[in-house]
């Protein structure tokens, strides 16, 4: 079984913030594949179903972003899942707004959500789908930006990014990581840097 975990913060006030794009990808996958994500399990809301004919558990940790590992690790232990069964979806300030990158493993790059998951699991060898949210200008306060509602002018782009995130997860499950990286790891329009 694949475990697809979207990172975010619980509570209505965080719903439309850049930091909750991981949750929104889970919501969209749930909608597209008729999976109800409402069962409480290991400090997460979870739902079980199928994507591309493969069994899948969708999960939204309710621990707040920086403690995500304290939900993900017991969830995996309880359901006998290994790190290579995990797909972690989250926002990424290191990527340009609208850019998306699938990574098969690697460091957390200073992001406290995946950092917590890596620390709890004791490994960084799991797939990530990183959703770019860098606004393209210097931020006075990164935390304030992450936890403030997405501006009206960017809402449509955010929906599109969430849609591509959900497509990428379905592709990883159906076709594997390598094919999905080839298909989805392109630069955002207007972005100059290609990240390895």
pLDDT above 90 (res 138)? no
Q: Please give the pLDDT value at position 187.
A: 57
- Rounded distance, CA 40 to CA 38, Å? 6
Task: For the chain, list the domains and their CATH numbers.
Answer: 2-184 (3.40.50.1470)
The secondary structure of residue 136, as a DSSP letter, is S
The residue annotated as part of the active site, out of 19, 33, 111, 112, is: 19
Q: What is the pLDDT of residues 58-96, one digit of tens each?
A: 999 999 999 999 999 999 999 999 999 999 999 999 999
Torsion of CA 155, 36, 52, 79, to 10 degrees: 120
Q: What is the pLDDT of residues 106-135, one digit of tens each?
A: 888 889 999 999 999 999 999 999 999 988
Structure tokens at 165: 């995130």
- Rounded distance, CA 102 to CA 32, Å? 21
Residue ranges in 16-154 assigned as alpha helix (H): 21-32, 69-78, 112-121, 142-146
Which CA distances in Å does 76 have to 85, 139, 143, 193?
A: 9, 36, 29, 35
Residues 29, 59: contact at Cβ < 8 Å? no
Query: Is 79 noted as a catalytic residue in this protein?
Result: no
pLDDT above 50 (res 153)? yes
In sequence order, the β-bridge partners of residue 50 are: 55
- Rounded distance, CA 89 to CA 196, Å? 18
Query: Other C-beta atoms within 10 Å of 58: how many?
Result: 28
- Across the chain, mean pLDDT equals 91
**Residue 57: in which H helix or E strand, if any?**
strand 54-61
- Rounded distance, CA 35 to CA 57, Å? 9
Q: Please give the pLDDT value at position 57.
A: 98
């Amino acid at each position: 079984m694949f475990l697809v975990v979207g990172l975010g913060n619980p509570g209505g006030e965080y719903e439309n913030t850049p930091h909750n794009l991981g949750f929104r990808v889970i919501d969209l996958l749930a909608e597209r594949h008729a999976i109800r994500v409402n069962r409480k399990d290991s400090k997460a809301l979870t739902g079980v179903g199928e994507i591309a004919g493969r069994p899948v558990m969708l999960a939204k940790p309710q621990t707040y972003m920086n403690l995500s590992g304290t939900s993900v690790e017991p969830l995996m232990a309880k359901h006998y899942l290994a790190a290579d069964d995990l797909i972690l979806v989250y926002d990424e300030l290191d990527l340009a707004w609208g850019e998306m990158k699938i990574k098969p493993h690697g460091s957390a790059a200073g992001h406290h959500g995946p950092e917590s998951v890596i620390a709890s699991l004791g490994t960084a060898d799991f797939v990530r789908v990183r959703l770019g949210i860098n606004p393209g200008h210097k931020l006075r306060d990164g935390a304030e930006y992450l936890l403030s509602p997405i501006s009206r002018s960017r809402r449509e782009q955010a929906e599109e990014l969430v849609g591509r995130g959900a497509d990428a997860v379905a592709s990883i499950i159906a076709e594997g990581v390598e094919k999905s990286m080839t298909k989805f790891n392109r630069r955002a329009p207007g972005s100059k840097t290609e990240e390895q």
